[in-house]
Chains A and B, each alone.
Chain A
Amino acid sequence: MRLDLWIAVRVVAALATLTALSVVVFWATEVLPGDAAGVLSGPHATDAEREAIGVALGLDRPGAERYLEWMRGALGGDLGTSLATGRDVAGIVGARLVTSLAVLVPAVMMIVTLAGVLGTAAGLRQGGRLDRWLSGTTLGLIGTPDFLVATVLLAVFTAWWPVLPAVALVRPGESLWQHPELVLLPAVALALGGFGATMRLLRASVAHTVATPFAEFARLNGVRGLRYVWGVVVANALAPAVMALTVMTAGLLGGAIVVETLFNVPGLGSELTQAVAHRDVPLVQGLSLVLGAITLLLLLVGDVTARLLDRHGPTATGPAR
């Protein structure tokens, strides 16, 4: 299939997926016990006050009607207003996205560098001392829960050797992007969480490439050193590695809740958990939609990049951990 046509089909599929996602998220938030009026009223309201809050928030209308109205707005770029604060959902989502990215971008850069170098080194010498040591370490990292990694980092760099701030505190009018010292610990915590899996995928991909007749042919023809590593192995192992990296990045964007909570980085993940607790349906919808859209976009970019990189057409690559 031609590349532009293939991309167009993928974009249409992504839009259909987003629509389905918005229905599922709306329905899932609806079936949770209680609603925003209940949360806002608290335990000390009279029945009349409780009802008035529900009417003011428009929660007395049927779910389908509210969903369609929200959908119409979303198509026009209006994600609605938060039930808990009355603020513009698009504004909240935008601010949280900027905060999440401030930690995610450095974390992904660390992962790419570390996993790239170490994964290639380990894959080239499969079964070697470095490979065995890295296998053990990365398995350990994959098996360590996020909160433990974050807590150890906090203990080491804020208590025993207090060189970094424990909590990301930003003054009004400033952004987390202006404070590398605040970003460092959460970014390292995220990177350590995502590094293990990515490195192992890359290592498997490199090892697989090294074992192909194509690579063997290159070696027999005297291709050596950097030219062999970069031109033969990495170039051919890159496609699956890019896919692995995009999947991991998409996961970290909304899934960094533990790190965001412990370091007080108010990103998309922690906002989503709070919005669910407040039964703030428009905010949950807006956050999920944006997270879904970015994830689909990242996957699309990953697929396109992989397709462009994959010089030998579809092969039986099956990178395994």
Chain B
Amino acid sequence: MATSTMRRRGVVGATSVLVALALAGCSGSHEAEQAAEPVTVDGGVLRAAFAGGSTETLNYLQGPTALDYVRARLVHAPLCELDPTAPDGVAYGVVESIEMSEDLSEYTLRVRDGVTFTDGTALTSADVLYSLRAPVLLEGLPFTRLVSRNVDLDAASAPDPSTVVLPALAPLADGRELICQSMLAIKDGTTEFTPQTPSSGPFTIAAFEPGQSTLLERNDGFYGQAPTLDEIELMSIADGTARVNALRQGQVDYISGLSPAQAQNLEGEGGLSVATSELPYASYQFFAMNLEHEPFADPRVREAFKLAVDRERIVENVYFGHAFEGNDVPALGFGSYDDSLEQRTHDQDRARELLDEAGRTGMSVELTVGPELPGMVETATLVVEDLKAVGVDATLAELAPGQLFADYPAYLALPFKAGYTPPAPFEPNHTPGTFPEVDALVQTARSAPTAEERLNASHAAQQLLWEKGNQIAPVFVPTISAASTAVSGVRELQFPDFAQATITP
């Protein structure tokens, strides 16, 4: 349609100058029309760019990039989503409710009526059950398998077209969060993902070229609130600087995955706005001290390291304010996060005292880091500086992109290393094996009969991690995006959601 064509600014080659002039003419008359009528924001094309890359795939179960999930989330309707503000902690999608049995051993999912796939068939409990089993059946990447680690999917059943019954492997209080963390609805029996694969989300795939671009068109048969955009074009621009250039020039309307420095540069530029995802959608960035490494077995050394780090300086100097100060405990912003914990402050004197008491003044340590999260290497550089300031002989080992986690056993064996966890609730994502007392408390937090007992256990676990945990978590890192001011309605979750985005011509 005319509006969408006119939105395509920027491509001004020798051959397209005439076209551009013609469009400029059209756009003038269009504005004149609009002055007489109330401005509507229906329709239009949103062009959004992500890092993407040639590993892009429509199979979101095996898609390692943010772009794969953003696209999948627009094409396949979610079963439900995390929503810390909702009564159940989740917002429902094609599943309209999840009931938990009194003894926490079974979950009953009710499937919404009136949801159809693009091939015209109705979405039933068989499809929901298959969607839950798909990560295992279709060899999905580990992060998609959270449900299968906690629920007995082989024993799960669909007794009628609108009911799914899921038995838990052990009493489980946070099953809703697990089911709603990243599960999308696909049709029973789906084994491959192509543009023609039946889907039930707000958009359908009109064209897909991996590592290049995806063209999405509005699905008028979508069961939920209808999107206003006609089309969304998701583009892959691997380099961050190139993404910024494309936005500045108007080749795209929205870019994701900015570095804090790029965000700082773009802020205040006319016609552009910078947005940061809100809590809880910020990644937990940590520096893990390996307890097998002798000095770190002493809790005084761990505490000294935590006290040595100047968190406010990291938030200001590395993230230019686009980050949330951390308190060495994960899942900031989620329902069970313990806000009553005292915020750890920067205390160099106490850090020196503790190191002295432990007999570790002047100890040597190497911090291993890689550019796996925006600002991670810069944060590690400041952590090393802070440690030097309290008398630790600290050095930095910086790895190439992608190398930090490539050899995981080697990563685990490092004495002191950077890492991160994407935004997710604490208890179901806790990795046991470091502190048995914490593991036991988390187990209670996930299975105690009353909500109060569960919350108390969770807070006790967090208290222990705060006191003697082996992770320094100076900041929580949000996703930073930038857009033309014509764009609105983008939900900045862990990944942006464009389902209700609008664009003014």
Residues of A with C-beta under 8 A to B500: none
Other-chain contact of A41, B11, B141, B233 (Cβ < 8 Å) = B141
Q: Are B402 and A170 within 8 A (Cβ)?
A: no
Distance (whole angstroms) from the CB of A269 to the closest CB of chain B: 12
Asked if A85 meets B57 with Cβ closer than 8 Å, knowing A42-B405, A184-B13, the reply is yes
Other-chain contact of B15, A35, A181, A270, A274 (Cβ < 8 Å) = A181
Check A313 for interface membership: any CB of B closer than 8 A.
Answer: no
Asked if A182 meets B13 with Cβ closer than 8 Å, knowing A42-B143, A44-B142, the reply is yes
Distance (whole angstroms) from the CB of B429 to the closest CB of chain A: 8
Distance (whole angstroms) from the CB of B76 to the closest CB of chain A: 19
The B interface, classified by DSSP as helix, strand, loop or mixed, is loop
Other-chain contact of B242, A35, A171, A263 (Cβ < 8 Å) = A263
Query: What 0/1 pattern do residues 143 to 185 of A give for CB contact below 8 A with B?
Result: 0000000000010001100111111011111000001111010
Check A13 for interface membership: any CB of B closer than 8 A.
Answer: no
Q: Which of chain B's residues has its CB closest to A176's CB? A: B212
In the bound assembly, the distance between CA atoms of A33 and B57 in angstroms comes to 26
Residues of A with C-beta under 8 A to B407: 33-35, 38
Q: Are B13 and A278 within 8 A (Cβ)?
A: no
Other-chain contact of B403, A33, A171, A180, A182 (Cβ < 8 Å) = A33
Near B by CB (< 8 A), chain A positions 24-47 give: 32-35, 38-46
Of B120-128, B248-256, B313-321, the stretch lying at the interface with chain A is B248-256
Check A279 for interface membership: any CB of B closer than 8 A.
Answer: yes
Other-chain contact of A264, B209, B214, B238, B429 (Cβ < 8 Å) = B238
Distance (whole angstroms) from the CB of B305 to the closest CB of chain A: 21
Q: Which of chain B's residues has its CB closest to A266's CB? A: B211
Q: Are B207 and A271 within 8 A (Cβ)?
A: no
Query: What 0/1 pattern do residues 65 to 90 of A give for CB contact below 8 A with B?
Result: 00000000000000000001111000
Other-chain contact of A167, B237, B400, B402 (Cβ < 8 Å) = B237
Check A16 for interface membership: any CB of B closer than 8 A.
Answer: no
Interface residue tally of chain A, by bracket?
Answer: 35 or more
Q: Are A277 and B400 within 8 A (Cβ)?
A: yes
Check A220 for interface membership: any CB of B closer than 8 A.
Answer: no
Check A92 for interface membership: any CB of B closer than 8 A.
Answer: yes
Residues of A with C-beta under 8 A to B13: 164-165, 179-182, 184
Asked if A271 meets B54 with Cβ closer than 8 Å, knowing A44-B421, A169-B235, A266-B211, the reply is yes
In the bound assembly, the distance between CA atoms of A34 and B370 in angstroms comes to 14
Q: Determine which residue in A39, A166, A167, A180 has the highest number of CB atoms from chain B within 10 A of its CB, and name it.
A: A167
Q: Which of chain B's residues has its CB closest to A163's CB? A: B12
Q: Are A165 and B142 within 8 A (Cβ)?
A: no
Near A by CB (< 8 A), chain B positions 388-418 give: 400-403, 405-408, 410-411
Check A216 for interface membership: any CB of B closer than 8 A.
Answer: no
Q: Are A166 and B242 within 8 A (Cβ)?
A: yes
Q: Are B251 and A165 within 8 A (Cβ)?
A: yes
Residues of A with C-beta under 8 A to B241: 262
Check B139 for interface membership: any CB of A closer than 8 A.
Answer: yes
Check B62 for interface membership: any CB of A closer than 8 A.
Answer: yes
Check A261 for interface membership: any CB of B closer than 8 A.
Answer: yes
Residues of A with C-beta under 8 A to B343: none
Asked if A87 meets B210 with Cβ closer than 8 Å, knowing A44-B143, A171-B215, the reply is yes
Check A5 for interface membership: any CB of B closer than 8 A.
Answer: no
In the bound assembly, the distance between CA atoms of A143 and B236 in angstroms comes to 32
Distance (whole angstroms) from the CB of B287 to the closest CB of chain A: 14
Query: What 0/1 pattern do residues 1 to 42 of B give for CB contact below 8 A with A?
Result: 000000000111111100000000000000000000000000
Asked if A169 meets B213 with Cβ closer than 8 Å, knowing A38-B406, A277-B401, the reply is yes
Q: Are B402 and A277 within 8 A (Cβ)?
A: yes
Query: What 0/1 pattern do residues 49 to 69 of B give for CB contact below 8 A with A?
Result: 100011111000010100000
In the bound assembly, the distance between CA atoms of A278 and B141 in angstroms comes to 14
Residues of B with C-beta under 8 A to A42: 64, 141-143, 405
In the bound assembly, the distance between CA atoms of A4 and B391 in angstroms comes to 73
Q: Determine which residue in A56, A85, A270 has the highest number of CB atoms from chain B within 10 A of its CB, and name it.
A: A85
Q: Which of chain A's residues has its CB closest to B402's CB? A: A277
In the bound assembly, the distance between CA atoms of A32 and B399 in angstroms comes to 12
Residues of A with C-beta under 8 A to B211: 266
In the bound assembly, the distance between CA atoms of A46 and B407 in angstroms comes to 14
Q: Determine which residue in B141, B149, B419, B421 has the highest number of CB atoms from chain A within 10 A of its CB, and name it.
A: B141
In the bound assembly, the distance between CA atoms of A53 and B135 in angstroms comes to 13
Distance (whole angstroms) from the CB of B24 to the closest CB of chain A: 15
Asked if A56 meets B139 with Cβ closer than 8 Å, knowing A84-B64, A166-B246, the reply is yes
Asked if A43 meets B411 with Cβ closer than 8 Å, knowing A33-B403, A266-B212, the reply is yes
Asked if A41 meets B142 with Cβ closer than 8 Å, knowing A46-B149, A172-B215, the reply is yes
Residues of B with C-beta under 8 A to A53: 139, 141-142
Residues of A with C-beta under 8 A to B10: 165
Q: Are B142 and A181 within 8 A (Cβ)?
A: no
Q: Are A171 and B213 within 8 A (Cβ)?
A: yes
Given contacts A43-B421, A182-B11, 17 further A-B contacts (CB under 8 A): A33-B410, A41-B408, A42-B143, A84-B55, A86-B57, A166-B248, A166-B249, A169-B11, A170-B213, A171-B233, A172-B215, A181-B14, A181-B15, A266-B54, A266-B212, A274-B54, A279-B402
Pull 30 A–B residue pairs with CB atoms less than 8 Å apart, ordered by A.
A38-B405, A38-B406, A41-B142, A42-B142, A43-B405, A43-B419, A43-B421, A44-B143, A44-B431, A49-B142, A49-B145, A56-B139, A85-B55, A86-B57, A158-B245, A158-B249, A165-B13, A166-B242, A166-B249, A169-B11, A169-B251, A171-B215, A172-B207, A172-B215, A173-B207, A261-B238, A264-B238, A264-B239, A264-B246, A266-B238
The 3 A-B residue pairs whose C-beta atoms are closest, nearest first, are A181-B13, A34-B406, A45-B142
Q: Interface residues, chain B, CB within 8 Å of chain A? A: 10-16, 49, 53-57, 62, 64, 139, 141-143, 145, 149, 207-215, 233, 235-239, 241-243, 245-246, 248-249, 251-252, 400-403, 405-408, 410-411, 419-421, 429, 431
